[in-house]
Structure 1
Amino acid sequence: MASETLHEDPQKLGSDVIDVHRAIVSVMEELEAVDWYNQRAKATDNPKLRAILEHNRDEEKEHASMVLEWLRRADPVFAQHFKTYLFTEGSITGIEAEAEEGGGGEARSDANGDGSLGIGSLRQVNR
Structure 2
Amino acid sequence: MGFDQYHEPPEELSDDARTFARMITSLTEEAEAIGWYEQRISLEKDRQAKAIMENAQKEEMKHFGMDLEFLLRKKEVWRTTLKAILFTDGDIVEMGKKGEEKAEG
Q: Same fold (TM over 0.5)?
A: yes
Which protein has the larger Cα radius of gyration, Structure 1 or Structure 2? 1
Match in the other structure for 2:43 = 43
Q: Structure 1 residue 68: deviation in Å? A: 0.6
After superposition, the CA RMSD in angstroms is 1.9
Give the SS at the match of 1:8: coil
Q: Structure 1 residue 99: deviation in Å? A: 4.5
Q: 1:57 to 1:99 in 2, by over 3 A?
A: closer
Whether the 8 Å CA contact 2:31–2:64 is kept in 1: the answer is: yes
What TM-score, normalized by structure 2, do the two folds share? 0.84
| Structure 1 residue 64 corresponds to structure 2 residue 64 | yes
Whether the 8 Å CA contact 2:84–2:95 is kept in 1: the answer is: yes
| Structure 1 residue 25 corresponds to structure 2 residue 20 | no
Runs of 5+ unmatched residues, structure 1: 106-127
Whether the 8 Å CA contact 2:5–2:25 is kept in 1: the answer is: no
Give the SS at the match of 2:84: helix
Q: Distance in 1 between matches of 2:77 and 2:17?
A: 14
Runs of 5+ unmatched residues, structure 2: none
How many residue pairs get aligned? The number is 101
Q: Distance in 2 between matches of 1:54 and 1:99?
A: 32
Asked which structure has the greater RCO (Cα within 8 Å, sep 6+), the reply is 2
Whether the 8 Å CA contact 2:23–2:71 is kept in 1: the answer is: yes
Give the residue type in structure 1 aligned to 2:46: N
Match in the other structure for 2:12 = 12
Q: Distance in 1 between matches of 2:97 and 2:26?
A: 30
